[in-house]
Chain A
Amino acid sequence: MVKISVLQHAPSTHLPLRPGDPTPTSRNLDPLLHPFARARERTRALNAAKLEKLFAKPFVSALEGHVDAVEVVVRRPASVGVVASGSWCGDIIVHDLAQRSQLHRLPNAHKGKVSGLCWADEDRILSCGVDRNVKLWNVGSSSMEDGSDAASEGPRPLSVFPGKTAFNSIDHHRTDPLFATASNIVQIWDETKSAPITNLSFPTSTETITNVAFNLSESSILASIGSDRTFTLYDIRTGKAERRVIMQMSHNSLTWSPTYPTVLLLASEDHNLYTFDIRSLSSPTQIYKGHVAAVMTCSWCPTGRSFVSGSWDRTIRLWEEGKGRGGEVYHAKRMQRVLATTYTADARFVVSGSDDGNVRVWKAKAGEKLGVVTARERAAIEYRDALKERWRHDKEVGKVSRSRHLPKPVYKAAELKRTMLESRRVKEERRRAHTRAGASLPKAEKKKAVVAEQT
């Protein structure tokens, strides 16, 4: 007796029951039925990397309104998409990014440029300018009636704090009604008093303070950068400067990390950015190299994992904290020197202000799709991201996802800079090879950055 059975696929299980039904699918996970699985996955990863580059459109919009360079852009606390910007012509504008509209406009807020701007709370703005005044403005919803009353003269400030010298920067205390200004010294003001309550300066300093920032967590700590290549830490409880660090080049901007309270970010004139842990100021924790001109501004992402920098070389770069290279580079044909940057509170967008008088909105992830994303699309995006992550060490995939298009002047400048640094290095090493052994020792880049630490 022979038992015989022959393979038979029942059409009822493999065909749709009614017309219009989806065709049932069947799966067999045997690798023999899936030849070239790895090669095909790599192709998919390569395509994903290419598609991401292909569809990367980071520029969202340009908000007009200023007639001169935008000096400062600040985000309103506790709101996602409201930023205030101050320009060299003395205007202050509050933008709504979602509507792309101007919520408030303070023409001629200052004579000359608005050098510093910060939010006192959700409704009030503090601004300082080279006209030696600090002004407090009401830009809340209730201020609309005031504006219509005094339409002829324009809006009036709630209060004016006169100073003796031109101000360079201003920052408000996280909780208390205090703010700090930077001129030739750091001054602490009370919102209710018209004269500064404290003057802070490092004992031997004769420099101009260009930027000042309160720590967000330890809110009585204050940091400033000065024209004498220094940055200084103050404590307003003790009322004195605690520590000063002198570096190779002066800095243009300073911000505290929003999540790591001891981490400080500096944008330097020497084309680099530096993060410091203030517990050890002898060397920076990381140097961020990439710009080919002075970095004018830097700003942390609200997550504290990345930050954005704007530079004199007309580009904006996005950095991962702790990664000295790589990251996105944004540039636009008509964008000039970038003087101000900030993140929105949801960390999805970057706002930049530049010399051409426009406030520009960029995506924080260049390849991200805006608008409603369906579940299938989301799944596809996640799959592509996983593929890129998995195959990032592949030569071609890595090359595609690493390469960035740069404007020709920036590219050429980077090339020139590389050549110069390389020849400098070679010269130094040759010199070392021909001096007595041990007479001149090489020094790590991080150790070179700090010249002196003073108390």
Chain B
Amino acid sequence: MDSLISRADAIQPLHKKRKTSHKPSNSRPKSKPNDSSSKTSQTDPTLSSIASHTLLPKSLRTSSPPPPSTKTYNHIPNKKLRSELTKTSANALRAKALVKDAQELLLVDEPGKMEVEGEMERTWRVGQEEIVQSVGGEAAKGRKELKLDGGSYRTRYTRNGRHLAIVGKKGHVATFDWQTGNLHTELHLQETCRDITFLHSHSHFAVAQSKYVFIYDKDGVELHKLKDHIEPTRLEFLPYHWLLASVGNAGYLKYLDTSTGQLLTQYRTALGPCTTMTQNPHNAVIHLGHTNGTVTLWTPNLPHPAVKLLAHLGPVTSISVDPSGGGRYMATAGADGMVKVWDCRNWKGAVRGWSVRGGSSGGTGIEVEWSQRGYLGVVSGGSVNVYPPAAIHTPHSNPTLPPLYLTHPIPHRPLTSARFAPFQDILTIGHAGGVSSILVPGAGEANFDSGEADPFEGRKARREREVRGLLDKIQPDMISLNPDFVGSLAPPSKLTTATDATLASQSKSKAGEVPYARLPRLERLRVSGKADETELHDSDEEEGEEESEKGKGMSKAEKEKKKMRGKNKSLKRYLRKQRKNVIDPRAVAVRKKLEHQKVERQKAKEIASGVREVEKPSALDRFKRAEK
């Protein structure tokens, strides 16, 4: 038969000898030419004849040598899996290095800053006039004062920071391009308006009016009246899920899918009217603040809050989530005059808290807002205070004020909202006299990504982004506190499969529960009578005696290590290392020999203790059958 296929396997396997154990993979084939001279006899003639004429396809070639710190998976005996894992880790490292290189090239813009030189100088002593004077030019245009008489104003930016929507309590609504100053629309709705938010782009916005939520387009045309959202107080739009969340005086949290127009779910908070809502931009969880001082975290797939937290003694007036730390920190402000910073991974008490002057006096409470780079703006009484990121995050037990970065007084009380402009160093404050914006150097992220939010995007780019956003819309039931659960391993199932040997033997009466074909290999061998079971029993018996005395809390490896070693250690080790599912004549012989030795030892012991007497050699011994 071999002659039949003599030519068939002319290409011999490269490594003919059977590998007993794999080598570490750091001996790359590239480093081989040095020792190839010594191995010339081993090279395959067929392979070498075609090697000069063939090339590895471009897609299969590595673009660069593997990074030096590539993790090797030498403990994995399966070659295919091992090389796959090594390749994956090398690729991950390569990608990381590439990203690092790319960051240097891509991040061209420098974030703004304000630094003092002398020890006695303070940044908060610098007023807005001085900042405006020193920066000058285009940047100074960020400092604006809009005098409006529509009541107290609330503001909202689009995600790219280009457009601003403002709404006055008395029903004055306006949206405009913040940079050029072009007014898109201006509406006088003649009724109480409590909040405003842009939808996926500046072309649509939703206004929380006295009775319902209304959606308008860029030109101010009323598109939808959302009758399900009754007496809304706050609105939030989750851009990647296309969900508009609203909460109202009745205390119902309602989710509307803006891509389909369906009301997704509504949850009764049962905590009374709610006037505080914010979203965590990194996991799309809605944070609500209630009048009894609790903060609740909601996802659309849970009928109860994911987290419920007593944050303040008195109503919660404002919540903000830190975008710079991946949604890790949350700041809350209450009518008790306190501002608290919380760690969202560990709810055991606030990271730090401090009381703010004039919190409860101004009619409405304190407003907090976090900028993209982690500056915390606190609007209270008649002034705006901004705190730098590092100081706020460090845990502090005493209710002391963190170091101040910048402060600015505003005479028009009450101050009702504060918003940082994304990708700009601007903080916009809405108040009773209109809207004013101040410059906060260092607040905005310097480098934007055109794929996500681009302040300079044109009409075509916006359309493209809208379509892509719709295609990539994440299903609402994927919202959870940990956004990284997608694509990670599922937790181990609590249901057991009865493939275990013990279980199988227990449930013998119910034969056929686990098909033979689905049993693990060793089980299959055992069932089909090919596993070497004598060996297993032997080791069990030997270990059983020792286990009963000591070694109860020891692991298997420890037991193996501390096992009593007698003579014939090598033979026993040989047996132990033998594969248990193969009947090997040598292993059988060794086992027999060991047994024989054991009997001999037993005999010798008995003779020594006098139980047995020494067998005297007799003349008939020659006819005894020789024992092996």
B136-153 interface (Cβ within 8 A of A) = 137-139, 142
Cα distance, A3 to B110, chains bound together (Å): 14
Stretch of B28-36, B219-227, B512-520, B605-613 on the interface side: B512-520
Stretch of B1-9, B41-49, B378-386 on the interface side: B1-9
A6-B112, A39-B486 given; A242·B323 CB < 8 A: no
Q: Judge if A288 is at the interface, Cβ distance under 8 Å.
A: no
Total interface residues on A, using CB and 8 Å? 60
CB closest chain-B residue, reference A233:
B4
Interface string of A1-38 (1 = CB under 8 A from B): 11111111101011100000001011111111111101
A442 lies within 8 A of B487 (CB): no
Interface string of A414-455 (1 = CB under 8 A from B): 000000000001100110111000100111110000000000
Q: Judge if B186 is at the interface, Cβ distance under 8 Å.
A: no
Cα distance, A411 to B484, chains bound together (Å): 39
Contact of A6 among B282, B441, B487 (CB under 8 A): B441
A211-227 interface (Cβ within 8 A of B) = 217-218, 221
A245 to chain B, nearest CB (A): 12
A445 lies within 8 A of B517 (CB): yes
A2 lies within 8 A of B121 (CB): yes
Q: Judge if A164 is at the interface, Cβ distance under 8 Å.
A: no
Q: Judge if A44 is at the interface, Cβ distance under 8 Å.
A: yes
Cα distance, A447 to B452, chains bound together (Å): 58
Q: Judge if B448 is at the interface, Cβ distance under 8 Å.
A: yes
Cβ–Cβ < 8 Å partners of A25 in chain B: 450-451, 454
Cα distance, A242 to B471, chains bound together (Å): 62
CB closest chain-B residue, reference A261:
B8
B432-463 interface (Cβ within 8 A of A) = 439, 441-442, 444-452, 454-458, 460-461
Cα distance, A5 to B136, chains bound together (Å): 10
CB closest chain-A residue, reference B240:
A36
CB closest chain-B residue, reference A1:
B117
Q: Judge if B410 is at the interface, Cβ distance under 8 Å.
A: no
Cβ–Cβ < 8 Å partners of B114 in chain A: 2-5
B472 lies within 8 A of A44 (CB): yes
Cβ–Cβ < 8 Å partners of A217 in chain B: 7-8
Q: Judge if B604 is at the interface, Cβ distance under 8 Å.
A: no
Contact of A218 among B7, B444, B451 (CB under 8 A): B7
Cβ–Cβ < 8 Å partners of A36 in chain B: 240, 282, 284, 474, 483
Q: Judge if A243 is at the interface, Cβ distance under 8 Å.
A: yes
Cβ–Cβ < 8 Å partners of B424 in chain A: 7
A235 lies within 8 A of B4 (CB): yes
Q: Judge if A102 is at the interface, Cβ distance under 8 Å.
A: no
A1-B117, A9-B109 given; A39·B8 CB < 8 A: no
B5 lies within 8 A of A278 (CB): yes
Cα distance, A182 to B614, chains bound together (Å): 80
Cβ–Cβ < 8 Å partners of A32 in chain B: 282, 323-324, 326
B462-494 interface (Cβ within 8 A of A) = 471-475, 478, 483-484, 486-487
B117 lies within 8 A of A429 (CB): no
B486 lies within 8 A of A38 (CB): yes
Stretch of B98-106, B163-171, B197-205, B545-553 on the interface side: B98-106
CB closest chain-A residue, reference B508:
A433
Cα distance, A394 to B471, chains bound together (Å): 19
A7 lies within 8 A of B7 (CB): no
Interface string of B514-543 (1 = CB under 8 A from A): 011100000010011100000000000000
Cβ–Cβ < 8 Å partners of B157 in chain A: none
Cα distance, A92 to B340, chains bound together (Å): 88
Which of B116, B326, B528 gathers the greatest number of chain A CB atoms within 10 Å?
Answer: B528
B474 lies within 8 A of A39 (CB): yes
A23 lies within 8 A of B478 (CB): no
A217-B8, A441-B529 given; A6·B139 CB < 8 A: yes
Q: Judge if B118 is at the interface, Cβ distance under 8 Å.
A: yes
A390 to chain B, nearest CB (A): 9
B483 lies within 8 A of A6 (CB): no
A425 lies within 8 A of B512 (CB): yes
CB closest chain-B residue, reference A455:
B1
Cα distance, A217 to B508, chains bound together (Å): 52
A219 to chain B, nearest CB (A): 9
Q: Judge if A205 is at the interface, Cβ distance under 8 Å.
A: no
A23-B461, A28-B106, A218-B7 given; A6·B131 CB < 8 A: yes
Q: Judge if A334 is at the interface, Cβ distance under 8 Å.
A: no
A7 to chain B, nearest CB (A): 4
Cα distance, A39 to B439, chains bound together (Å): 36
Closest 7 CB pairs of A and B: A433-B511, A429-B512, A25-B450, A261-B8, A14-B456, A7-B112, A6-B139
A-B contact pairs, 18 of them (CB 8 A): A4-B114, A6-B112, A8-B112, A9-B109, A9-B423, A14-B455, A25-B454, A27-B106, A29-B106, A32-B323, A32-B326, A35-B282, A40-B474, A261-B9, A278-B1, A432-B511, A433-B509, A433-B512
Given contacts A7-B441, A8-B135, A29-B449, 13 further A-B contacts (CB under 8 A): A1-B118, A5-B113, A7-B423, A23-B457, A23-B460, A31-B326, A35-B240, A35-B282, A39-B486, A44-B472, A218-B8, A243-B1, A445-B517
